[in-house]
Amino acid sequence: MSRDDFLKEEFSSLRNEIMVRQSQRFKILVGGMFGVPAYSAFGKIADLNEVFGLVFMSVSPLIVLCVLLVYISEINGVMRIGRYIHENIESHFGPGWETWLESDDEKGRRMFDSRLNAAVFFCSILYYFGSSYIFLSSFYSINNISNNTYFHILIIFYISLGFVGFYWAFRCMEFTASPRES
């Protein structure tokens, strides 16, 4: 197999991987958009069984962070593949799709992706703190806490976890229309 044939085969394989990752990204978005609220609602409904409902709802904010991290993993994977195609395949054959995408950002070729990422990030923040509030308010009302120590520890835990998780996600996510340099 010649080097040209190998690069063409590699390009085809990488483009197929991008398509698979784009499909997974869509499934993650839909699952996160509808699955997380459904999960929280089920936890609230299951609140009749106090322990089961509380355990169920306590995990909901963590699921939001996990969904966001999987989403970030998928978009960063696509970006790595695109960077590889640009640097290793297009440099051999000449400018192609990745070069075109990066050539003129004034036309907003990457603008949709950056806005979608920002929307996913901010919706995740709302889902996280909303599901945390639902859990904490249920925990407080069910336990009729006379000593608020546990409640305060839980509040500090969920706020701290949210800030650390979203700070890390913010650092890993692409919000600008221009590509990130590796």
Q: What is the pLDDT of residues 119-172, one digit of tens each?
A: 999 999 999 999 898 888 877 777 666 567 778 888 899 999 999 999 999 988
What are the tokens at 154?
A: 């839980």
16: Cβ contacts below 8 Å, ≥ 6 apart = none
Domain around 91 = 3-172
Asked if the structure places residue 136 within a domain, the reply is yes
| The Cα angle at residue 37 between residues 36 and 43, in degrees rounded to 5 | 90
Calpha distance 10→7 (Å, rounded): 5
- For the chain, list residues with pLDDT below 70: 46-50, 104-109, 143-147, 175-182
Task: Tell me, yes or no, whether 179 lies in a domain.
Answer: no
* Residue 40, in any domain of the structure: yes
Q: Within a domain: residue 32?
A: yes
pLDDT of residue 67: 92
| Number of domains composing the chain | 1
- Whether 182 is covered by a domain: the verdict is no
